[in-house]
Chains A and B, each alone.
Chain A
Amino acid sequence: MQISVDRAKCDNHGQCTFSAPTVFRLDDQGILQYEASVDDSLRADVEEAADVCPMQAIFITD
Chain B
Amino acid sequence: MIHIIIRMRHNRTNDEVHTMPTEIEVPYLDISDPAFSMHSEAVRRAREQHWYAKTNYGYAVLRHQYVSTLLKDPRLSQGSGKWPDHNGVHDGLFHSWWTKCLLVLEGEDHHRIRRMLNPAFSLRHIEAYIPQFEALAEELVAGFLDSGECEYVNDFAEPYATRVLCILTGIPESEWPTIARIAGTIGLALGITIKDELPEIEEALGELYGYAEGLIADRQANPRDDLVTRLVEANRDGDSLSDDELRNALCLLIFGGMDTTRNQLGLGMQTMMHNPEQWELLAAHPELARNAVEEVMRANPTTTWVTREAVVDFDYEDLHAPAGSTVHFFTQVSGNDPEAYPNPEIDITAERAPHYGFGGGMHHCLGHFVARLDMAIAMRVFSKHMTNIRVNGQDEWLPDSGNTGPVRLPLAFDKR
Contacts and interface: CB of A to CB of B under 8 A. Distances in A.
B117 to A, nearest CB: 9
Given A18-B111, A18-B114, A54-B368, A13 B119 contact: no
A13 B118 contact: no
B115 A19 contact: yes
Contact of A15 (B68, B73, B364): B364
A55 B124 CA distance: 13
B123 A56 contact: yes
27 contacts: A11-B68, A11-B360, A12-B72, A13-B72, A13-B361, A13-B362, A13-B364, A14-B72, A14-B362, A15-B362, A15-B364, A17-B111, A18-B111, A18-B114, A19-B115, A19-B119, A26-B72, A48-B118, A51-B119, A51-B122, A51-B124, A52-B118, A52-B119, A52-B121, A54-B364, A55-B354, A56-B123
Nearest to B111: A18
Contacts of A11: 68, 354, 360
B74 interface: yes
B115 to A, nearest CB: 4
A11 B354 CA distance: 8
B352 to A, nearest CB: 12
Contacts of B122: 51-52
A18 B72 contact: no
Interface string B94-118: 0000000000000000010011001
Given A11-B68, A13-B72, A30-B73, 14 more contacts: A12-B72, A12-B361, A13-B364, A14-B72, A14-B361, A14-B362, A19-B115, A30-B69, A30-B72, A48-B118, A51-B119, A51-B123, A52-B121, A54-B368
Nearest to B120: A52
Interface residues of B, number: 22
B358 interface: yes
Contacts of B123: 51, 56
Contacts of B362: 13-15
A22 B121 CA distance: 22
A38 B356 CA distance: 32
Contacts of B358: 54
B118 A19 contact: yes
Nearest to A48: B119
Contacts of B111: 17-18
Interface in A6-51: 11-15, 17-19, 26, 30, 48, 51
B378 to A, nearest CB: 21
Sorted nearest first, the 7 A-B pairs with minimum C-beta distance are A18-B115, A51-B122, A52-B118, A13-B364, A30-B72, A11-B354, A18-B111
A18 B361 CA distance: 12
Contacts of A30: 69, 72-74
B25 to A, nearest CB: 28
B4 to A, nearest CB: 25
B82 to A, nearest CB: 24
Nearest to B237: A45
A15 B119 CA distance: 11
A7 B74 CA distance: 21
Contacts of B354: 11, 55
Nearest to B70: A30
Interface string B63-103: 00000110011100000000000000000000000000000
A36 B114 CA distance: 24
A5 B77 CA distance: 27
Max chain B Cβ within 10 angstroms of own Cβ: one of A48, A51, A54, A56: A54
